[in-house]
Amino acid sequence: MNLKPIFNRSFSGLLFDMDGTIINSFASTERAWGNWARANGIDPATFLPTMHGIRGVDLIGAMGRPDLDPRAESAKVLAAEMADVEGIVPITGAIDFLASLPPDRWAVVTSAPRDLAYRRLEAAGITPPKTMVIAEDVAVGKPDPACFRLGAERLGVDPRDCLVFEDAHAGVTAAERAGASVLVVTATHDLLDGTAHPTMASYEDLHLDLDGAERLTLHRRG
């Protein structure tokens, strides 16, 4: 097997975004948020590309619309998302790749609230990891780095010694601000075309080595 290292270094921990990174929930997300946008006089075609990876309460709060209460409106969208898990599937190869990881060396760091995160993972057939960081765990969501710093802390490692798997601008920015390395997942959209970070379209081509010092090194089959 011909293996090529993706990074010229190893890592202590792996931090995975959820939507668009280990599961494909794109259609469900855009149905719920598209319906909400239309109901509030917002053009979905303009709005939807800007909202991926951001907590609902932060997204609505940043709109500056006094007629929209961020918590109340994000709760409406959450109810719609909880009711609609049709078509949610794992990113190709994600189940096997995640199952191959040491359980105490990886975490999911998501902008989704707890109930939605677990519901979507279940719908995709992915067993939740031991360590999760969800929307309720931080005061400010992505692109603020607090979520990735917390994920690293819960793993007992330095965020600068972590590799973050992300698919959205907000998440990549959060990872960069936390000092982590980034691998961009391009499986569900092309919003990060032209990124300076390494990219991957599926997990099938990835291979992880754990050395004697328990350092994680990521390779691409090729």
Instruction: Report, as residue numbers or ranges, the catalytic residues.
Output: 17, 19
d(CA 33, CA 44): 8
d(CA 67, CA 73): 10
Burial class (CB in 10 A: 0-12, 13-18, 19+), 117: buried
Q: Which amino acid is at 74?
A: S
Residue ranges of alpha helices (H) inside 21-105 are 26-39, 44-47, 56-61, 70-83, 94-99
Containing 106, the helix (H) or strand (E) segment is: strand 106-109
Structure tokens given for 96: 């096997």
Q: Which amino acid is at 213?
A: A
d(CA 120, CA 141): 19
